[in-house]
Amino acid sequence: MMKSTSALKKKGTAGADVFRRKDKDRDATKFSFKSGSSSSSPSSSSRIGSPKTSPAAAATRKPKPAHHPKQTNMPLSNSPITLDLHRFADSNMNPEEFVRRSLADTNEEGIRAFHRSLVEAKHVIGGDLQRNVYRNYTEFVTISKEVSNLDADVFRLKGYLNELKSIWEGFVEEANPSEDMKPIDAIGLNDAILPQRKHSDMIPSDLQSIFRAQIAALWENVEGSQRFVAYTQGRHIVRECANFFDINPKTLQPRQAVHIFLLNDCLLVASRKKRSATSKYKLVADHCWSLDEVTIIDVKDSTAAVNAIKISVYPNTYIYRSERQEDKYALLHAYHRTMDENSDRQDDASNPIGYRNGKDAPAGAGDNQRAREGQDSDIEPGDRKWLEDLPDELEVVIALRQFETAVGYIEQAKKMLDSYPQPTPLLRASKSRVQKYSESLASIISQDLQNTLLTKLQFQRLVNWLLRLDKGDEAREVFLNTRSLIIKKRIRQLTFEGDSTTYINELALVVFTLIRNTCEWYRDSFKQNEMASRFITWVREQTEIYADIYKRQVFNHSQLNCQIIADCFKSTLDQCSILRKVGLDLKFMLEDFFLDNVRETVLAYERRCADKAEKFARGDNFSVVSSQNLGGDVRVTSSVISFYNMLIKFVNDICLIAKLQLYETVVRSISRVTEHYLRTMVDQSNGQRSVASMNIGFVLDNVVPRVSSQLNRHFDRPIPELDSLRARLRGLAN
């Protein structure tokens, strides 16, 4: 509280005297460090981490003395000590030699000052490194997304080119019959025996009539079969099995009687249903699959299932049981024979000369083919038997949810398949089945991983299974998506009861506690270094969601309260500090998220203050009054008292929320409000220049220095802009 005008003037000049004494002491001790800014006062240093101060300048500036230096009998240094940070980057630098050469003739105070400079330089460089890493990581994520999108476009273009190639080849085949495209070397070798024409052309007409009658009888006796099985030349029924039952894969109990029709290119399953009017039964077509999509597997007899077969059509599996063992083996034999005939027919089509499986081939052709592809006989009998029984075993253990056993079987199968370098038909089929069961098992485990009530031990066990199945990326995405849902659910459970500070405190507690727990679970389960980047991206996404809610609750109000904003941000930082225990520091990220909103708050506050200052000046009658707040000896008009109280409150509120990044915005706002008031007051003086000059002198000599002193303490740096404002507005008094 100021006592009088003279007291204010003395207080305003006291700071300058202190500065002069500090300059004299600094020259006496001769300890000099590099200044971070040419506009900074020698008595004050810039805050560490200022955007306008380079790391080298910040590290080498002189520390601010807290008191006048005391007299000492120790010898003083003859030369200033400076820090050259470039020398620390030299790989050949000898620290002991550097310290011995730099501090050889320095007293204790100089050594302490040198140590403080090193600590400040460490903090500055650490902060810059953290920001650079974050900035580079954001660019890396953006480039990675662009590369992934480019890969997808390339694969899509490749698919289009393949389709275009297939269409073009079809046009060529239609324009040039196969007889015209037959190689010259092939003429004369097999033309008389196997002429180059379609296989169906070699079937007698009476056999075609029999096949047509079979399909017609199938349409007549099986309801709905015509929409599954259309008539094409050569299509016929290979085997009909009437004594089969559809089995539930989970309970292994029969559900209904079925008829299975094996055709030369497809498999039709029809269920037997009772007619409504009579006691006879009718057949209704249920399923029809191409033989290329179907795998019929013999199921070992057990107490629960006897004479059973399994039909696998990815991703579904069907189990059927026959009444007699002969029917089961007859169907399996017919299926394998049909698949072999279809394979031979495809080989004939792909080899127009007629060589197949080494028959009628030149000498050495079969040897070369066997050298490229091994035989099933090369596999150990025990391994061959185990691979044949593996699908049944996996089917059972997956149905019983014995995931540890299932994962162990798949790992053992992969290891066994890799032990045989040459592929064989059994190895290829086993590899395909292992891949199919691996995908199915991973899907089931991923569904369990989506449970929001899992304990940490359960979660780690599920993730471990997925990692052993080489599904680490899927496990990571499922886990992070589930944790995002948990955070969203917990946020929705919070209730806003009108107190923004309490709500933000609870919100920060929920969000950052769950992020910390997620980090601990993630770190203990995904120990690969390549997994860390995705987690950091997830943390940033959750922090952005929190920042959006924070902005809506704190800044989107017509009447902004700086104290509430400061309390909410303090609660956020307090809760965010728990993440440091797991190696995360989100303080700089949160400050960047809220920087624009705080700047808008300062500017909005400035506009309100400018309007009030104008009203004060226009309503002033220029009668000299005194105020107990300013001191009994102070003689000013009423508008000056109102402006003084308003400006001091404005500075106090802004200092609660403004960080060093907003230094320029705050100083300019204060300068504009002050200048606007003084010019408006002068325009309204109406010839009372003496009173206006008294008001201007009081504002420039007392109010502005007090504001400058407060900003100096808040930002920890001098405020030369306000000194320039005072010098520029002195002319208004004339």
| Per-residue pLDDT reduced to its tens digit, 362-373 | 444 444 444 445
Q: Give the pLDDT confidence score for residue 108 in this predicted structure.
A: 83
CA–CA separation, 248 and 251 (whole Å):
6
Q: CA neighbours within 13 Å on the CB side: how many for 67? A: 3
Higher pLDDT among residues 528 and 571, named by residue: 571
pLDDT band at 315 (very low <50, low <70, confident <90, very high): confident
pLDDT band at 46 (very low <50, low <70, confident <90, very high): very low
The encoded tokens of residue 209 equal 């009539």
Q: Is residue 9 part of a domain?
A: no
Radius of gyration of the chain measured on its C-alpha atoms: 44
Q: Is residue 30 part of a domain?
A: no
Q: Is residue 607 part of a domain?
A: yes
Distance of CA 591 to CAs 515, 570, 572, 581, Å? 18, 11, 11, 20
Domain count, the chain: 5
Find the CATH number of the domain harbouring 270.
2.30.29.30
Closest CA to 330 of 262, 272, 271: 262
Q: Give the pLDDT confidence score for residue 350 in this predicted structure.
A: 55
| Per-residue pLDDT reduced to its tens digit, 572-612 | 888 888 888 888 888 888 888 888 888 988 898 999 999 99
Query: Average pLDDT in the 652-666 region?
Result: 89
The answer to whether residue 658 scores a pLDDT higher than 60 is yes
Same domain? For 644 and 716 the reply is yes
pLDDT band at 673 (very low <50, low <70, confident <90, very high): very high
Q: Are strands 237-247 and 266-274 parallel, antiparallel or unpaired?
A: unpaired
Higher pLDDT among residues 237 and 133, named by residue: 237
Q: Is residue 518 part of a domain?
A: yes
Higher pLDDT among residues 615 and 105, named by residue: 615
Same domain? For 556 and 510 the reply is yes
pLDDT band at 203 (very low <50, low <70, confident <90, very high): very low
Beta bridge partners of 261: 240, 268
Same domain? For 647 and 534 the reply is no
Q: Give the pLDDT confidence score for residue 667 in this predicted structure.
A: 92
Q: Is residue 68 part of a domain?
A: no
Distance of CA 647 to CAs 414, 637, 654, 663, 732, Å? 77, 16, 11, 17, 20
Q: Is residue 184 part of a domain?
A: no
Same domain? For 384 and 494 the reply is no
Q: Any idea which of 56-60, 379-383, 474-478 has the lowest mean pLDDT?
A: 56-60
Q: Give the pLDDT confidence score for residue 267 in this predicted structure.
A: 92
Contact 417, 430 (CB under 8 A): yes
What percentage of residues in the chain have a pLDDT greater than 70?
75
Same domain? For 243 and 277 the reply is yes
Same domain? For 251 and 282 the reply is yes
Q: Any idea which of 97-101, 256-260, 694-698 has the lowest mean pLDDT?
A: 97-101
Distance of CA 29 to CAs 66, 115, 621, 668, 678, Å? 15, 17, 56, 37, 44
Same domain? For 329 and 235 the reply is yes
Q: Give the pLDDT confidence score for residue 159 in this predicted structure.
A: 67
Same domain? For 703 and 655 the reply is yes
Query: Average pLDDT in the 136-149 region?
Result: 72
The answer to whether residue 162 scores a pLDDT higher than 50 is yes
The answer to whether residue 649 scores a pLDDT higher than 70 is yes
CA–CA separation, 256 and 318 (whole Å):
13
The encoded tokens of residue 675 equal 């200048």
Q: Give the pLDDT confidence score for residue 269 in this predicted structure.
A: 93
Find the CATH number of the domain harbouring 666.
1.10.357
Q: Give the pLDDT confidence score for residue 95 in this predicted structure.
A: 82
Q: Is residue 216 part of a domain?
A: no
| Per-residue pLDDT reduced to its tens digit, 432-459 | 888 888 998 999 998 888 888 888 888 8
What percentage of residues in the chain have a pLDDT greater than 90?
10
The answer to whether residue 152 scores a pLDDT higher than 90 is no
Same domain? For 494 and 408 the reply is no
Same domain? For 428 and 327 the reply is no
pLDDT band at 628 (very low <50, low <70, confident <90, very high): low
Q: Give the pLDDT confidence score for residue 501 in this predicted structure.
A: 87
The answer to whether residue 281 scores a pLDDT higher than 60 is yes
Place of tokens 């009372």: 688
Return mean pLDDT, the chain.
76
Backbone phi, then psi, for 583, in 5-degree steps?
90, 20
Q: Give the pLDDT confidence score for residue 520 in this predicted structure.
A: 87
How many residues belong to the chain? 734
Is residue 252 left, alpha or beta, with left meaning phi > 0 and alpha meaning psi from -120 to 50? left
Is residue 392 left, alpha or beta, with left meaning phi > 0 and alpha meaning psi from -120 to 50? alpha
pLDDT band at 627 (very low <50, low <70, confident <90, very high): low
Q: Which residue range(s) make up the domain with 680?
A: 602-732
Higher pLDDT among residues 525 and 18, named by residue: 525
Higher pLDDT among residues 239 and 163, named by residue: 239
Q: Is residue 13 part of a domain?
A: no
Find the CATH number of the domain harbouring 485.
1.20.58
467's enclosing H/E stretch is helix 456-468
Same domain? For 528 and 494 the reply is yes
CA–CA separation, 417 and 386 (whole Å):
12
Higher pLDDT among residues 235 and 66, named by residue: 235
| Per-residue pLDDT reduced to its tens digit, 84-134 | 777 777 778 888 888 887 787 788 888 888 888 888 888 888 888 888 877
Q: Any idea which of 132-146, 256-270, 484-498, 671-685 has the lowest mean pLDDT?
A: 132-146
Same domain? For 612 and 728 the reply is yes
Q: Give the pLDDT confidence score for residue 107 in this predicted structure.
A: 85
CA–CA separation, 302 and 428 (whole Å):
28
Higher pLDDT among residues 236 and 359, named by residue: 236
Statement: the pTM of the whole predicted model exceeds 0.75: no
